[in-house]
Chains A and B, each alone.
Chain A
Amino acid sequence: MHPTPCHGPGLSVRHLQKSFGGVRALSDGSVEARRGEVHGILGENGAGKSTLIRVLSGVISRDDGEVILDGQSLRLGSPAEALRANIRTVFQESSLIPALTVAENMLFDRLPIGWHWRLRTRALRFQYARLMDGLGARWLDPSARVAALSVADRQLLEVAKAIAASPNVLILDEATSALSLADAEWVLHQARRIADGGGVVLFVSHRLQEVKAIADRVTVLRSGRTVFEAKADETVSEDDLIEAMLGRRLARLYPQRESKTQSGTLLQVDRLRVGTRLGPVDFMLGAGEILGVTALPGQGQRELLMSLSGDLRYEGAVALAGRRYAPRSPAEAQKYGVFMVPEDRQTEALFLHHSVQFNVTCSVLTALTRGFSVLDPRREQETARSGANRVGLDPQRLPNQVATLSGGNQQKTIFARALLGKPKVFILFDSTRGVDVGTKADIYRLVAHLADEGMGVIFYSTDFTETLHVCDRILVLHAGRIAGTAPAKAWDEEKLLRCASGQTAAGAGTHSLAQDAAS
C-alpha cells in the first residue's frame, strides 16, 4: 500500500532504497507529508525508520529513490546540503559539539558574524536569550559547555536548536525518549507550532500513544517498506497500527520449543547495580534456559549485559553455578565461561582488516598454541572450520577478509568466535539486528539448540515478536529496573510494549507476581 502522491507544497519521499553491505535496510520507503501537518512514522526496530531519517538528513546517501520538497528534487549528499534545504533533524543528542557552549551550539550554523568573520558575542548572547524566551524553553545556561550538560538537557538543547531555525522539515527521531514529562510536552507543543506555521514535522517514536496524540497522519514501515498510511484519527485504532507494524510473520522463522523442565540455577544475580543507570536488579538464569531481555533504548540494558560480560564494573552479588562471579575484564569472564556477542559488530566485535579465520579464532588462541605461544596452523584451521560449521558459515569463507562478508555472515563469524570458547552462559546483545531473515532463522535455531545442550542464554532484543518466540522467559527493563518478568507465554507484544514504556498496564502486576515462579 502506497501513499498517494500529494499535490501542492510538502515533502514527498518516493521509493527510497538503501543497502548496507548486502543487507537491504530500506527497499521501498515512501512518505507523503503536506506542509502544516505532523506526520508520525512508525515501525519496529530494523523496519528502516532510522535509515529513512538518515537519508533525509543527508547523513547517508540513498541508492535510489526521490526526495521532493515543494516540487523541487533534493540531492541530500551531505548533512550540510540537508541543512541548506532547512531540513532539521533532532538526532538523539548526536549533533551537539561537546567542546562548545550551549549558545554556540544553539546558533551553530547561524552564528552572528560581524566584521571579518568575527563572532559578535553580545549579539550571540542576545539572540540566544531571545530565541529561548521565544520558544518558551527551559532556560539553559548559555555559557555552559555542552559536555557538562545532562543527557536530558542536551536532548532539550538539540530540539531547541532545530526548532529555532524555523525549519521547512523538522524530523524528531525519538526526541522525547530522554526527556522529563514537562519537557516532552514542550517538545510536542513546539512540533505542533512548527506544523501550524506551515512546516512539515516528521515524528518518529516508539510510543504509539504519543504518535497517535500528536500526528495528523501516520506512515508505517515494515522490513524496509512503507506498508500503511492513514489519517491518525479515530478511524485508526492502535491495534491497526500494531498489526501494520508487526505484519503477519512467517511462523516457520521460529523453531518449535517445548517448555522444558528447569535443571537448576546457572546464574543468580542479586542486587546488581551499575552506576545510576541500572539497578538494583535481581534475577536468575537457569541452565538450558533462554532468558529474553527487552527494553526501549537507554533503559540500562547495556549496563546489564556489559557488566555481566565483564566489561563494566558493578556492585552486587552474582553467582555462576554456585560460585562467586566477579569478572574484572571480558577476558576473565570468558575464563568463567561467560561469552557475549556484542551489540555493534562493526565497532565492538570485528577486526575488519583481517580474515574470517582470524576473527573466529582470536578468543581461543592460547588453546591453539604448542608452547612458546607458537600457533599450530593446522589445528587453527580445523578449529576455525569446526566453529564455522557449528554456526552454518561456509568454511570456504574462512580466508576471506571479514569486511567483504554480508552482515549475516559477519554475525555468524562472531557467533563462531564465542562458541569456540565453550560458553556456559551465552549473552546475545541484539544480535539479529541488521541481518537478513535467513540468518535470523539460523540464529534462532542455533540458540534453541544451544539451550537444549544445557547452555544458559541471555537473549537481548529490541524486537518484541522475536523475543516472544525465541525465549522461555522474558524480563523487561524500564529506567534501570526490572519492570516485569514472566514466562514468554504470559506475554504478548502489547503487554511488552506497555511494560517497556513504564506503564503498569492491567495484568503487568500479575506478571511481576509470576516472576520466577519456576525457581
Chain B
Amino acid sequence: MKPAVSARPSPLTIAIRIGRGAVFAARRQPATAGAFVLTVGLFAAATAHSLGFASLSNVRTLSIFAAFVGLAAMGETLVIIAGGLDLSVPWLIDFGGIALSQMHRGLHISLPLILLLVVLLGMVLGAVNGLLVTFLRAPPLIVTLGVGGLIEGYLVAVGTLQSSGDVVPDGIERFANARIGPFPDITLVWLALAVVAAFILSRTSLGRRIYAVGDNARAARLAGIHVERVKFATYVISGATATLAGVLLTGYIQTAYVGMGGDYLFGAIAAIALGGTALLGGTGSSWGTVAGACTLTVLAGLLPVLGLNTAAVKIVYGAIILAGVYFARAVQQIGGGRHGAEALREVQTLQRASGMEAMDTHHMGAAGRSMARHSAISGQ
C-alpha cells in the first residue's frame, strides 16, 4: 500500500476526470453535447476523406468562420431564449463594418475609441429594436426586419466604399489576422465572449430572468420580473455582438460592403436551433449556439471537400439543419429526463383542459397564448 497519493495525477486519472466532467456537462446540456458530437463526427468524416481537412491551417480557418457565425448568433441566442427574435443581425454586421471604415476615414481618433464607439452605436440600434418590441408590443420578426431595413437604407445612403483595401483600419486588419500561439485572435475573442454569455445566462440574475421571461412571460410578470426591461436588455446585447462580428469580419476580409452580413440572417438562427435552443424561448444555452456554429462551419467546409458542388452543398446543408434540430430535440428529451418530458406533456393536457376555465373569464389573452405556445411545442 502506498501511503499517499502521488502529487502528480497520472494521465489516466486526468483523462478520467475530464471524461467525468464531460459526461456531467453532457447530462446537463444534452443538445449541446449532441451538436458537438455531430461536429466531431462531420470533422472525422471530412478527415477520413482528405487528411488535409485536419491540418492546422484549415482548422484555424474553420475556427475563424465559426467565430463569425458564433458572434452573430451570440446575442441573438439571448434574444431567442427570452422569447424574441432579431432579424436585424445581418444589417448590424454590415453596420459594424461600414461604420468602422467610415469613422476611420472621418474621425481622427484612436482605433480602440472607434471600436468602442461602433459597438456602442450597435447597442443603440439594438436598443431601438428593444424599445419598439416592448413599447409597440409588435411581433419582433417585423420590428427587427424594419429596423434592419432602416439600417440598410442608411448604409446605402452614406455610400458604399469605393476602394476597399485602404479604408479598413490597419490595426483591425492586423488584429483579425493575427494569432496568439496557435489560436487566431478572432476565435479567442469569440470563445472569451461565449464564456461571458454563458456566465450571464447561468450565473446572473439577468440570465435567470431571461429564461423566466422566455418560458412564461405572464408568470414572469406576476413573479415581479420587469419583462420589458429583460427583453430590452437582450436586444441591446444582440446589437453589441452582431456589430462586433461585423467589425471583426471587416478586419478579416479587409473590406466592408452592404450585404456582407447577408449569410448570417438565417445562418445564425440555424446555429441556435442546432444547439438545442427552441425558437419559442425559455430553454437553450449559449454553449449550444457555440456548438451549433461549429457544426454549421464544419459542414460548410466539409461539403466542398467531398466534391459536392454549390447546389449539393445547399441541399445537404438544409437537410442537416433539419436533421440536427430533430436530433437535438430527441436528445434533449432522452437526456433531459424522459420523466420531465412526459410530465410536461401531461401538464400540457391539463393546461388545455384548464384553459377552458381560463377562457370563460374575459382574461384569456395571456393564458390562451401561453397554452397555444405550449401545445405548439408538443405539436398537438
Please report A residues at the B interface, Cβ cutoff 8 Å.
Answer: 20-21, 50-51, 54, 59-60, 91-94, 151, 174, 177-178, 277, 297-298, 302, 306, 309, 311, 329-331, 333-334, 340, 342, 344, 346-354, 358, 361-363, 365-366, 368-369, 372-375, 377, 401, 403-405, 417, 421, 434
Given A93-B360, A302-B361 in contact, is the A373-B371 Cβ separation under 8 Å?
A: no
Q: A342 to B337, Cβ gap below 8 A?
A: no
Q: How far is the CB of B217 from chain A (nearest CB, A)?
A: 10
**Which one of B51-59, B147-155, B223-231 is at the interface?**
B223-231
Could you give, for residues 35-51 of chain B, a 1 whenever the CB lies within 8 Å of some chain A CB and a 0 otherwise?
Answer: 00000000000000000
Q: How far is the CB of A162 from chain B (nearest CB, A)?
A: 15
List, in ascending order, chain B residues with CB within 8 A of A354's CB.
Answer: 211-212, 215, 282
Could you give, for residues 324-337 of chain B, a 1 whenever the CB lies within 8 Å of some chain A CB and a 0 otherwise?
Answer: 00000000000011
Could you give, for residues 197-238 of chain B, a 1 whenever the CB lies within 8 Å of some chain A CB and a 0 otherwise?
Answer: 000000111101101100110111111111000000000000
Q: B226 to A329, Cβ gap below 8 A?
A: yes
B177 within 8 A of A: no
- How long is the Cα–Cα vector from A5 to B371 in the complex, in angstroms? 38
Q: A311 to B222, Cβ gap below 8 A?
A: yes
Given A20-B349, A331-B226, A403-B343 in contact, is the A93-B359 Cβ separation under 8 Å?
A: yes
* Top 5 A-B residue pairs of the complex, sorted by shortest distance between their CB atoms: A92-B360, A365-B205, A334-B224, A401-B340, A347-B367
List, in ascending order, chain A residues with CB within 8 A of B351's CB.
Answer: 346-347
List, in ascending order, chain A residues with CB within 8 A of B215's CB.
Answer: 351-354
Q: B358 to A347, Cβ gap below 8 A?
A: yes
List, in ascending order, chain A residues with CB within 8 A of B209's CB.
Answer: 362, 365
Please report B residues at the A interface, Cβ cutoff 8 Å.
Answer: 203-206, 208-209, 211-212, 215-216, 218-226, 282-283, 336-337, 339-340, 343-344, 346-347, 349-363, 366-367, 370-371, 374
- How long is the Cα–Cα vector from A59 to B380 in the complex, in angstroms? 12
Across the interface, name the chain B residue whose C-beta is closest to A311: B222
Q: B360 to A404, Cβ gap below 8 A?
A: no
Q: A297 to B360, Cβ gap below 8 A?
A: yes
List, in ascending order, chain B residues with CB within 8 A of A177's CB.
Answer: 360
- How long is the Cα–Cα vector from A92 to B212 in the complex, in angstroms? 31
15 chain-A/chain-B pairs, Cβ below 8 angstroms = A21-B343, A92-B356, A174-B360, A309-B222, A331-B225, A340-B222, A342-B219, A344-B358, A347-B354, A349-B223, A350-B219, A351-B215, A351-B216, A354-B282, A373-B204
Q: B222 to A349, Cβ gap below 8 A?
A: yes
- How long is the Cα–Cα vector from A411 to B347 in the complex, in angstroms? 14
List, in ascending order, chain B residues with CB within 8 A of A298's CB.
Answer: 360-361
List, in ascending order, chain A residues with CB within 8 A of B367's CB.
Answer: 344, 347-348
Q: How far is the CB of B321 from chain A (nearest CB, A)?
A: 23
Q: Which of B208, B220, B339 has the most A CB atoms < 10 Å from its CB?
A: B208
Given A347-B351, A348-B222, 9 additional A-B pairs, CB 8 A: A20-B347, A94-B356, A298-B360, A311-B222, A331-B224, A347-B370, A349-B222, A361-B208, A362-B220
Q: How far is the CB of A266 from chain B (nearest CB, A)?
A: 20
